[in-house]
Structure formats: C-alpha cells, structure tokens
Amino acid sequence: MTPAITIVGASLAGMHAARTIRRDGFDGRIVVIDADAHLPYDKPPLSKQVLSGEWGPERVTLPAVSEDLDLDLRRARRATALDVATRTVTLDGGEQVAADGVIVATGCAARRLPGQPDLPGVHLLRTLDDSLAVRAGLDAGPRRVVVIGAGFIGAEVAAACRGRDIDVTMVEVADVPLERVLGRQMGLVCAELHREHGVDLRLGTGVSAIEGDERVERVVLSDGEVVEADVVVVGVGVAPTTGWLDGSGLTIDNGVVCDDTLLAAPGVVAAGDIARWPSRRYGELLRVEHWENAVQMGEVAGRRLLAEVGRDADEVPVYDPVPWFWSDQYDRKIQLAGRSGPDDTVAVVHGSLEERRFVALYGRAGRAVGVLGMNRPRHVMALRQLLEEGASWDDALVFAEGLG
Amino acid sequence: MRVVVDYDLCESNAVCMGIAPEVFEVRDDDFLYVLQENPPEELRAKVEEAVQRCPKQAIKLED
C-alpha cells in the first residue's frame, strides 16, 4: 500500500516539507491540516507591506499553493491530539487521520500580556487576520497607536505607522531594546533609529492597564502616565503551539524536542518555529523563529520523514545551520546572522553607526559568533559564510577588512 | 536554464548571493545584479537552492 503522510501546520515549514516530499517523488496521500482559514501564507509581510498598505492580502499566499503538489489541504481545522504509536491526528470535531508519517509544524502563537483585555482595537500580530485587523485600525486614522514591546515585530509595526504618518508611542519594559540579542550598544542604535523617525519611545517602562469602554481608549504606563490611543498592538513574543500534543508521548520542552535530524519519535518529525533541536554547531538545544529556518527545516524534515516511511533516502541530513533573519524598519534593512548575545565583544567592521549603514561582528571566546548589518546585505552574507566555517575572531576581522 | 529576477519583489537580502555568488551579486548600491543569466548546468543545484531560499520568492528559473 502507498504510504500516507500528515502535515500539521500549513505555514512556511509545513508547506516546504510538502513541496520537498512531492519533489522527491512521494506519490502517496499528503493531508495538510491548519487551524487558519486562509490559504497558506507568508508571515514576514504581515508586519511590513500589509500594514503599510502596499500589499493586498492576496499577495501573501505562499507560492507552493499554486504548485501542483496534490495536497489534501484541510483549512480552518484544528488538530487536537496526536497518537504517536499509530501516527493518528485527531481533528476538532473528532475526525481522525492516520498516516505512516507525521510532520509537526504548528509553529507559535503570539503571547498576550497578563491581564490583556479583549477590547476592540487591542491586537496581537501573528496571523493574516491579525494583520488585516491592525491595518483596518490604521486605515481608520487613529489619533495614536501604542505598540507594546520594542522587539522586531513591534519595531516593524512602529515603522509602518510612521510611514503612514501616524503618531506612535512604543513601550518597552527593558532599558535597551533587543539587548538580549544585540547587546547594549547595538540595541541603543535601534532605539535611536526609532526616535529619529518620530517614535515616542518609552524604555524601562511597563504597562499597568489597557483601558476603554466600548473599545480601547488609553494605555496606563507603569510610571503612571496615561497615553490616549485608538489602536494598541502587543508584540511581546511568541510561544510554541504545543497544547494539542499534551499526552502524545513527544518530549515537549519549550517546543517539540527532536534529534539533530529533526526526528521527534519514530515516524514523527518536527519543523519550523515549534521544533527544538540539538545544534552541533552551538552545543545547545535551539529553537529558532526565523523565516529561513522554517524553509530549511521543512526541507530537512520532509527528507527525514521519507526515510522513515521506507523510501530510499540518499542520506539523512543533519540540521545544523547558522541562523539568519532580516527586519525592515523605515528605510533600513537589518540583518542578523549567527548567535549573538549581550556579553559578546562587538566590533564595527564596516561603515559607521552614525550613517545607520554598517556591519558589526560579534565575538565570544576567540570565535566570531554573529554579524549584524544595517543596509549592508552583501557584507552580512559574506560574513555569514565565514560563521558557517567556524572562523576565529581574528580571522573574521581580517576578512571583514578585506570586504571593502 | 535562464535566471529571471522580479525586481519589483527583490529586497536585496542577498541570500542568493550567499548561495550562488557565481550568479548573483548585491553591490554597494544595494541592488541585485545577475552575473550570468544563463548559468551553466553545473550550477543548477545552487541556483535552485537560491530560488527556494529567496525570502521574497523573487527568482525564477526557466528552462
């Protein structure tokens, strides 16, 4: 009998897994299940081109949708349980889908603030519906938008608002935005970038309450100040969508823990934001929420699963990338490769911070571990290659010098 | 094979250049240049990977 595969999650990782499996010649049934009602879509534009109004929602549909992949796509269906032994997924309503292999790719969901009210005008930003709701709020001409959290999503929302000449207050509980990822110096550069573009940035400030009668009217800050606002966007991070896997037998610990080939259990692989794997390169369990990680993991997980369902696999690849992502804010493209941290040595190796066009290297224990670029994609990509080769700090400095 | 870039989509992330520098180059003006529109067959695997990994899906391969 032809084997069957079930993919839970039709976002980037799930759809890339589907594409990989088909392209590798798998001709069995592929069922793809997703709680979202929309056709599978790409998420980066949701905080960029969709909010700015440049793109209509139809443009975010993933290209795999229009490829002839012969998928049995079940939209607006939530998976509620997985039985690992029989590789059976239970859907809302009780329907069960059994298969020879399962790909777990349900990603993450946006976190809410503790005590966050369900008031119209208060938004999370994770799904296409979230993005369209925020956009409608911006289209309505708000007096002011309050963005809670100055991470990458918050920063992009603030930039989209400023691009539409909407007043923005961005509230961040930490003293320096993104310090945990970029360190103090580079986090302060990001803070300045927002201020230069007219964002009212409140650092070291929490939120005491979000208030309003019929809809949101104001945000009360931890210092007691009240900011009037018609739209509030909460961008305080995400959490893996693992609730449906409780009792499945999979190891759940800040995601689905898998091995370095992305196998989570016999016949079950995980991919994308939800998957946590032991990185050989970094010697720790990693879970990465970036676009490219979802693409690459989907491919590797798909190939891994083909080996599990008995197809000849050339070789089982080990998943061990150097993470990379980008963020577009105002007219700046920020790219980060590697694993930088707040205690790393930082050297600006190209351009200048003042111009907001530069490359910074991060080093730790004699090795180059990260590279941050602002409007310098060429340099970031070249240095990323060097990170993949495990370059020493000194060699990386010399190499960067030679990039011109 | 022919490499076609949709420059309305391209955001110069330079991922393609990282994968296939023989074919793609992002220069100091921040624009992407295709160095070989008809790259030799031995570069197919690399170019296909660049197509897959372009964050804007701005590259197409025509045979």
Distance from CA of B40 to the nearest CA of A (A): 22
Residue B6 sits at the chain A interface (C-beta within 8 Å):
no
User: Which part of chain A has CATH 3.30.390.30?
Assistant: 331-402
- What residues contact residue A262 under an 8 Å CB cut-off, 6+ apart? A269, A270, A271, A275, A277, A297, A300, A301, A304, A319
Q: What residue in A sits closest to B15 (Cα-Cα)?
A: A381
pTM for the model stands at 0.95
pLDDT in tens, A212-231: 999 999 999 999 999 999 99
> Which residue, chain included where needed, has tokens 């490769």?
A337
Q: Do A16 and A302 meet the contact criterion of CB atoms below 8 Å apart?
A: yes
Smallest CA–CA distance from B58 into chain A, residue: A63
Interface test with A, best of B32, B52, B54 (most A CBs within 10 A): B52
For the structural domain made of A112-234, what CATH number should be given? 3.50.50.60
Parse chain B into domains and list their residue ranges.
2-62
Provide the pLDDT for residue A314. Answer: 63
The CATH H-level superfamily of A5-109+238-308 is: FAD/NAD(P)-binding domain (3.50.50.60)
A326: nearest CA partner in chain B: B13
Is residue B60 less than 8 Å (CB to CB) from chain A?
no
Do A378 and B57 make contact, defined as CB atoms within 8 angstroms?
no
Structure tokens at A126: 């994770």
| Residue A41 DSSP label | B
The ranges of chain A annotated as CATH 3.50.50.60 are 5-109+238-308, 112-234
Q: How many residues does chain B have?
A: 63
Residue A295: closest CA among A276, A271, A279, A314:
A271
Cα–chain center distance at A14: 14
- Nearest CA distance, A75 vs chain B (angstrom): 23
Structure tokens at A373: 């670029």
Q: What ipTM describes this predicted complex?
A: 0.87
Query: What pLDDT, in 10s, does the model give residues A380-399?
Result: 999 999 999 999 999 999 99
A326: contact with B, CB 8 A cutoff: yes
Q: Does A299 touch chain B (CB under 8 A)?
A: yes
Q: Looking at beta carbons, which residues of chain A come within 8 Å of B30?
A: 375, 377
Q: Residue A238 in contact with residue A108, Cβ under 8 Å?
A: yes
Say whether pLDDT at B63 is over 90: no
Whether residue A403 lies within 8 A of chain B, CB to CB, comes out as: no
Give yes or no for A296 touching B (CB within 8 A): yes
Whole-angstrom distance, CA of residue A193 vs CA of residue A302: 40
Number of Cα atoms under 13 Å in the Cβ half of residue A1 = 6
Residue A181 confidence (pLDDT) above 90: yes
Sequence-distant (6+) residues with CB within 8 A of A67 are A19
Mean per-residue pLDDT for A166-186? 97
A336 Cβ under 8 Å from any chain B Cβ: no
Q: How many residues does chain A have?
A: 404
Band of pLDDT at residue A316, cut at 50, 70 and 90: confident
CB A84 within 8 A of CB A248: yes
Query: Rounded to whole angstroms, how far apart are CA atoms A395 and A393?
Result: 6
A-chain residues near B53 (CB < 8 A): 292, 295-296
At the fourth CATH level, the homologous superfamily of domain A331-402 is FAD/NAD-linked reductase, C-terminal dimerisation domain (3.30.390.30)
Residue A71 has pLDDT above 70, yes or no: yes
Domain B2-62 has CATH 3.30.70.20: yes
pLDDT tens-digit profile of A325-372? Answer: 999 999 999 999 999 999 999 999 999 999 999 999 999 999 999 999
Residues of B with CB below 8 A from A333's CB?
Answer: 11-13
Out of B30, B52, B55, name the one closest to residue A326 (CB): B55
Cβ proximity of A277 and A267 under 8 Å: no
**Is any Cβ of chain B less than 8 angstroms from the Cβ of A384?**
yes
Question: What CA–CA distance (Å, rounded) separates A14 from A8?
Answer: 7
B4-32 per-position pLDDT tens digit: 999 988 989 999 999 999 999 998 888 99
CB atoms A375 and B30 under 8 Å? yes
Which of A63, A292, A333 faces B53 most closely, judged by CB atoms?
A292
